[in-house]
């Protein structure tokens, strides 16, 4: 069965430090890949997406992600974290099933220390 793994439940990063959130997926073909961010009490906001082409994708708020087919990974990065980045981040895989089925990881909560 398809699955998405986010191995880090919590991550604490100092403000101004770099960030990398890990995401690995299990799927036979190349899926659509997404990163969403959820602030407390809010819905999910799309940060970036990968469909095809350049494996390094840029998103909003200074985030980027790199698709590595050989590792089945789609890690999210940011060079300098801001306190406002504290939130929960979800990686999701979109599957070609005749409708757009999204399989979500369990999320990584980012804490930003001063």
Q: What are the residues binding another protein (CB under 8 A)?
A: 4, 9, 32, 34, 36, 41-46, 49, 51, 90, 94, 96, 98-102, 104-107
Smallest distance, another protein to C-beta of residue 13, A = 21
DSSP 72: T
CA angle 36, 86, 78 (to 5 degrees): 65
Partners of 86 in beta bridges = none
Give the C-alpha separation, 32 to 85, whole Å.
24
Smallest distance, another protein to C-beta of residue 70, A = 23
Smallest distance, another protein to C-beta of residue 16, A = 29
Of 15 and 73, the one with the shorter C-beta distance to another protein is 73
Of 19 and 44, the one with the shorter C-beta distance to another protein is 44
Closest alpha carbon to 14 in 82, 108, 84: 82
CA 53 to chain centroid: 18
Of 28 and 41, the one with the shorter C-beta distance to another protein is 41
Smallest distance, another protein to C-beta of residue 12, A = 18
Count CA within 13 A, CB hemisphere, residue 75.
10
Of 84 and 96, the one with the shorter C-beta distance to another protein is 96
């Amino acid at each position: 069965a398809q699955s998405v793994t986010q191995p880090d439940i919590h991550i604490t990063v100092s403000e101004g430090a770099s960030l990398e959130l890990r995401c690995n997926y299990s799927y036979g073909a190349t899926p659509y890949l997404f990163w969403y961010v959820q602030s407390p009490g809010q819905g999910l906001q799309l940060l970036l997406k990968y469909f095809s082409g350049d494996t390094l994708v840029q998103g909003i708020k200074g985030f980027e992600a790199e698709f590595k087919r050989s590792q089945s990974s789609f890690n999210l990065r940011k060079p300098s974290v801001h306190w406002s980045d504290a939130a929960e981040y979800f990686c999701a895989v979109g599957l070609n099933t005749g409708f757009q089925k999204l399989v979500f990881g369990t999320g990584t909560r980012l804490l930003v220390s001063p």
